A = this chain, B = another copy of it.
């Protein structure tokens, strides 16, 4: 359903140009809000229109939740917690209770039966107004008399507004033992008259919409019960629940209870795709939730979104042609996943197959409903509801890399892969491991969140690298931490070397991990504030496109600060004889800082460090005395190592250098 766009003429001269706009008498003038524009209809704003303005979810959800019960039963506690939770979910709400009413609206009322009735009547009328305004109104009042509560319900009913009576039911003994305001004590002593439960009656609801056993159940359970109830009643949309858990991570491991049946199913599946190592690494990335909320290898829908917009716009399965309706859409529970804003996904994650493989997976134009994915002869995952679509490799390389040069190792991988892609929902049997002695430093995003929570991190900054660490890097990480310490108590560094496929001349992962450990052992990075872990993604060398992936994937682990270097994920232009960079060296950081879906990420630039010959240490490059600095490139470093020379004192921690030098020497000897 589409609304008609207003067809009124609009501002012809919202002059954007350099001359300062002279503020006219009416600010409105500059918007040319003529009589044709400001809508001046007489009719009032309806609930539907109001609903569009309020909260983060569609639809009018004005209603009143009326908490009744003895003093001390927990009405206000539950109501406050609920207000908090609703706000977190983006649902507009407002709490009314004795505190904001007895001193204001009802200050001229006492505690006689008549005054109590008038008190409840007024509060009920105000609740109705708030509900009418589209708010979830949380009214917490002892409201001891049944007839008063029934009147409150009636007032709402007349206005067509939902009213839910929630009985917060705790035994008098419990309430009296809590006695938060010492009212029971005073009543027992006769200092307070008309205390409900002592010398005034409480009439429990005959048919409450919900009863909370706040005497025996915990506060948490009570709140969960209310939230469940409100979901059931449609006041809270189910989607909103996910915002209660922070940026959820979607893992693709089979549930423990279904593991056996999945293994059984896998043994019987007729169709199989054999993964190569890079595909296995992507499967690991997906299964551990680094690309959350992706639920498998991309379908055409996600593939086009990623290639054209660098993001996931939704999680639906089918790539629909306009006018086409997906008959299975209701079954599409992925759309249930909360997608409040755009989710950055600049790189496609696809599983490619050849034309021949496509034929073997297809019967009468239908893709096999289940396909096993195997690696090294072992069936590691299942792909369901498979969908086969064209890879269009050259176009993909052009859009992802901005280049179709086959000498680029990332482009080459794409151009040499299959002509088709299989998208589908993935379930992985076991966590993917490599038995290379490094599995112990391969943490999933959820494990990292736990580790970081145990360390009581209140800020997490990540350092992405695929090269050995020199003292310049370490300096930068220390400086970043110092900067974060101005605002945070305990910033933790996630030292997160990329562990997937890299081009041949990069230093192998095991050497790098030993080198990284040495840097920590030598104290250049504090062991107490550093978590070393391997990032399972393969490398692509896709520059500005890839740096977004590197940053976005780490969000899953709870990272909030990303250090971006010069020419991140860049590579030399294979067409350039002088070895010029393929990507403009600042584009990576610039694009990263503007990328949709990353606006909450704190991006810190990697300032250039170089060897300060005067101070004999790595230092931030100071262009005012450039003659004092020496840039030691990777090539230069490799040269030194090969020839058994040592780099200048202070360039790299000694132990770390030894590891690297040994590696290059050995490589040289081969």
| Chain B residues within 8 Å of A636, by CB | none
Q: Does residue A589 face the partner (Cβ distance < 8 Å to B)? A: yes
- Mask: chain A, 1-42; 1 = CB below 8 Å from B; 0 = not: 011111111111111111101000011100111010111111
CB contact list, A398-424 vs B, under 8 A: 398-399, 401-404
| Chain B residues within 8 Å of A592, by CB | 322
A249 to chain B, nearest CB (A): 5
A446 to chain B, nearest CB (A): 6
CB–CB A10/B399 < 8 A? no
A377 to chain B, nearest CB (A): 24
CB–CB B8/A245 < 8 A? yes
A529 to chain B, nearest CB (A): 15
Instruction: Tell me whether A84 and B9 are in contact in the complex, defined as CB-CB below 8 angstroms, given that A4-B560, A133-B130 are known contacts.
Output: no
Complex: how many Å from CA A245 to CA B342?
27
The listed residue (B52, B390, B558) touching A5 by CB distance below 8 A is B558
CB–CB A398/B392 < 8 A? no
A63 to chain B, nearest CB (A): 15
CB–CB A10/B40 < 8 A? no
| Chain B residues within 8 Å of A2, by CB | 560-561, 600-602
CB–CB A10/B449 < 8 A? yes
| Chain B residues within 8 Å of A334, by CB | 16
When C-beta atoms are compared, the residue in chain B nearest to A385 turns out to be B18
| Chain B residues within 8 Å of A135, by CB | 133
Instruction: Tell me whether A87 and B50 are in contact in the complex, defined as CB-CB below 8 angstroms, given that A244-B38, A251-B13 are known contacts.
Output: yes
Q: Which of A75-83, A519-527, A656-664 contacts B (4 or more CB under 8 A)?
A: A75-83
CB–CB A18/B425 < 8 A? yes
Q: Does residue A603 face the partner (Cβ distance < 8 Å to B)? A: yes
The listed residue (B232, B309, B459) touching A309 by CB distance below 8 A is B309
Complex: how many Å from CA A15 to CA B517?
36
CB contact list, A543-597 vs B, under 8 A: 544-545, 555, 558-561, 564, 583-584, 586-587, 589-596
Q: Does residue A458 face the partner (Cβ distance < 8 Å to B)? A: yes
CB–CB B28/A224 < 8 A? yes
Q: Does residue A604 face the partner (Cβ distance < 8 Å to B)? A: yes
Q: Does residue A146 face the partner (Cβ distance < 8 Å to B)? A: no
CB–CB B308/A248 < 8 A? no
CB contact list, A329-358 vs B, under 8 A: 333-334, 337, 342, 346
Complex: how many Å from CA A293 to CA B304?
26
When C-beta atoms are compared, the residue in chain B nearest to A133 turns out to be B94
CB–CB A255/B449 < 8 A? no
CB–CB B333/A28 < 8 A? no
CB–CB A56/B56 < 8 A? no
When C-beta atoms are compared, the residue in chain B nearest to A77 turns out to be B42
A231 to chain B, nearest CB (A): 5
| Chain B residues within 8 Å of A555, by CB | 5
CB–CB A85/B39 < 8 A? yes
The listed residue (B11, B55, B227, B398) touching A402 by CB distance below 8 A is B398
Complex: how many Å from CA A251 to CA B54?
33
Complex: how many Å from CA A341 to CA B246?
24
Complex: how many Å from CA A248 to CA B13?
10
Complex: how many Å from CA A449 to CA B36?
12
- Mask: chain A, 499-515; 1 = CB below 8 Å from B; 0 = not: 00000000000000000
| Chain B residues within 8 Å of A446, by CB | 9-10, 12
CB contact list, A107-141 vs B, under 8 A: 108, 118, 122, 125-126, 128-130, 132-135
Q: Does residue A105 face the partner (Cβ distance < 8 Å to B)? A: yes
| Chain B residues within 8 Å of A595, by CB | 308-309
Q: Does residue A195 face the partner (Cβ distance < 8 Å to B)? A: no
CB–CB B319/A449 < 8 A? no
| Chain B residues within 8 Å of A605, by CB | 321-323
| Chain B residues within 8 Å of A105, by CB | 122, 125-126, 129
When C-beta atoms are compared, the residue in chain B nearest to A158 turns out to be B104
CB–CB A249/B10 < 8 A? yes
Complex: how many Å from CA A180 to CA B42?
14
A101 to chain B, nearest CB (A): 8
CB–CB B313/A596 < 8 A? yes
Q: Does residue A301 face the partner (Cβ distance < 8 Å to B)? A: yes
CB–CB A333/B560 < 8 A? no
A372 to chain B, nearest CB (A): 15
Complex: how many Å from CA A651 to CA B539?
55
Q: Does residue A649 face the partner (Cβ distance < 8 Å to B)? A: no
Instruction: Tell me whether A223 and B40 are in contact in the complex, defined as CB-CB below 8 angstroms, given that A55-B54, A309-B595, A605-B323 are known contacts.
Output: yes
29 example contacts (A-B, Cβ-Cβ < 8 A) are as follows A2-B560, A2-B601, A5-B555, A5-B559, A6-B246, A9-B453, A10-B245, A11-B245, A17-B427, A37-B244, A38-B244, A42-B77, A44-B84, A53-B54, A94-B133, A104-B125, A126-B126, A126-B129, A133-B135, A304-B544, A308-B544, A320-B590, A321-B593, A322-B564, A322-B604, A323-B603, A394-B402, A397-B398, A398-B404
Inter-chain pairs besides A17-B425, A38-B224, A50-B87, 14 sampled, C-beta below 8 Å: A11-B249, A12-B251, A18-B385, A37-B244, A39-B88, A40-B223, A45-B95, A50-B92, A53-B56, A53-B91, A105-B122, A305-B594, A314-B594, A321-B593
Top 7 closest pairs, chain A to chain B, by CB: A395-B402, A398-B398, A6-B246, A105-B125, A16-B295, A322-B603, A94-B133
